[in-house]
Structure 1
Amino acid sequence: MFDILVKGFLIGILTSIPVGPIAMLCIQKTLNKGHMHGFFSGLGAATSDTTYAMVALFGLSFVMPFIEQNQLLIQIIGSIVILLFGFFIFSKNPVAVLNKNIATKESYLQDYLASLLLTLSNPLIIFLFLGLFARFSFLSNTDNTVYSLSGIIAVFAGASTWWFVLTFVASIFRKKINIRGLGVINKLTGSVIIVLALGGLILSILGKSVNV
């Protein structure tokens, strides 16, 4: 049981570490709104990743044919969603954001759901889980329900821990950044997300597998 928990925890971290649109979103949320807003955005991503980990583990025979047959369409749609989100962040005015935060307190649930829905647009992460499951010989026997559920919970715990650490580190620099700095960060974050999304879209059209 202990080795399953350790492996699951490591897999959760490894699937979250790549610096992509979601990481940029969590950092941007942290710098604009505070640590917990960024962390709850990360929890949304962790929930989505855990969902796809369960699909990879339990529902592979049902889901994989659909994903393989529609891989190009899924990649294009996912890239377009992320591209639009990048434009949204790029155009955000930090002064307006701060004024809005003062007038109406945005809930952590909104941050959580926004990140969850954005991350769910990329089901191709299932392939990453398949590779990691094979590499770590993780839950090769899924007949034991207790072991399987414990492993999945460990994946979620690992991913959540990574997002907590990342947003905590980002929050340390928050007080050192002024309004102008927040504007620059929004532009940079939006630009990075747009570039990643465009890259994913171009590679998808060219017929190359990509995980943005």
Structure 2
Amino acid sequence: MSLFMQAFGIGLAIAAPVGPIGLLCIERTLRHGPARGLVTGLGAATADAVYASIGATGMGVLIGWLTALATPLALAGSAVLLYLGVATLRRPPAEHAANAHEGGQLFAAYSSALALTLSNPMTILSFIAVFAGLAGGHAPDSADAVLMVLGVFCGSALWWLLLAYGGGRLLARLGSRGRQWLDRLCGLLLLAFAMGIAWRTLTPLLAG
């Protein structure tokens, strides 16, 4: 239980900082309701669990393969964020949440967040370092690895639940004009994240 709670805290800490997925969660909650925001976050939580699984089991070959793909994956993630940022700025004011429970829309929100989070394979290295510390510097056994991965997923999922439903209620009090300005801010920040990722990825290549 202690190992699970430590991994739970790690998952919560990884999810909590405001980043592109957090902005997507807020933007989709504003436009389509908390269900769409929640599944967006669960897509990110699933990606965290996938990378946590790799980090916990120490799959060296796969780690090396994903590390080699870090640059194209980062650029692909930057392009997706750029598209989402532009689309957010061009859309009309937030829609009503009438279609928030449509299965196809929910799956699209989930899968897009999953793909965006998986576009940062260097996250694996962070999980390897953290899990090595939790396991006392040794590779965890199967039971401990399951607890770690489950803890990371639950901690991350809790944050997205709080953001989509708790934060969604607060956002609803802003009024239509306030939500419109927040929507635009989300779009601009998504563009900033996209350009920042592209800059960090391309700078070493251009310098070389």
Q: TM-score, normalised by structure 2?
A: 0.85
1:119 counterpart (112, 117, 120): 117
Q: Match for residue 151 of structure 1?
A: 148
Measure the CA separation in 2 of the matches of 1:35 and 1:136: 34
Q: Percent identity?
A: 28
SS of structure 2 residue aligned to 1:206: helix
User: What residue is the counterpart of 1:72 in the other structure?
Assistant: 71
Question: Following TM superposition, by how much is the alpha carbon of 1:45 offset from its aligned partner in structure 2, in angstroms?
Answer: 0.8
Q: Deviations over 1:162-208 (max 9, x none)?
A: 11122233112233133333322221101001101101111111129
Give how far 1:59 is off.
Answer: 5.0
Q: What is the aligned partner in structure 1 of residue 84 from structure 2?
A: 85
Q: Secondary structure at the match of 1:150?
A: helix
Q: Does 1:106 align with 2:106?
A: no
Match of 2:129 among 112, 124, 131: 131
Output the amino acid matched with 1:73. P
- Give the root-mean-square deviation of aligned CA atoms: 2.4
Unaligned runs of at least 5 residues, structure 2: none
1: CA distance, partners of 2:127 / 2:99: 42
**Equivalent pair of 1:41/1:115 in contact (CA under 8 Å):** yes
Query: What is the rounded CA distance, in whole Å, between the counterparts of 2:99 and 2:169 in structure 1?
Result: 25
- Seen in structure 2, the aligned counterparts of structure 1 residues 40 and 180 have a Cα distance that, compared at 3 Å, is same
Aligned partners of 1:43, 1:182: CA distance in 2, in Å? 23
SS in structure 2 opposite 1:94?
coil
The whole-number CA distance in structure 2 between the counterparts of 1:170 and 1:180 is: 17
User: 2-side partners of 1:121 and 1:46: how far apart?
Assistant: 14
Q: TM-score normalized by structure 1?
A: 0.83
Unaligned runs of 5+ in 1: none
CA contact (8 A) 2:15 2:156 kept: yes
Q: CA deviation at 1:106?
A: 3.3
Question: Structure 1 residues 14 and 132 mapped into 2: Cα distance closer, same or farther (>3 Å)?
Answer: farther
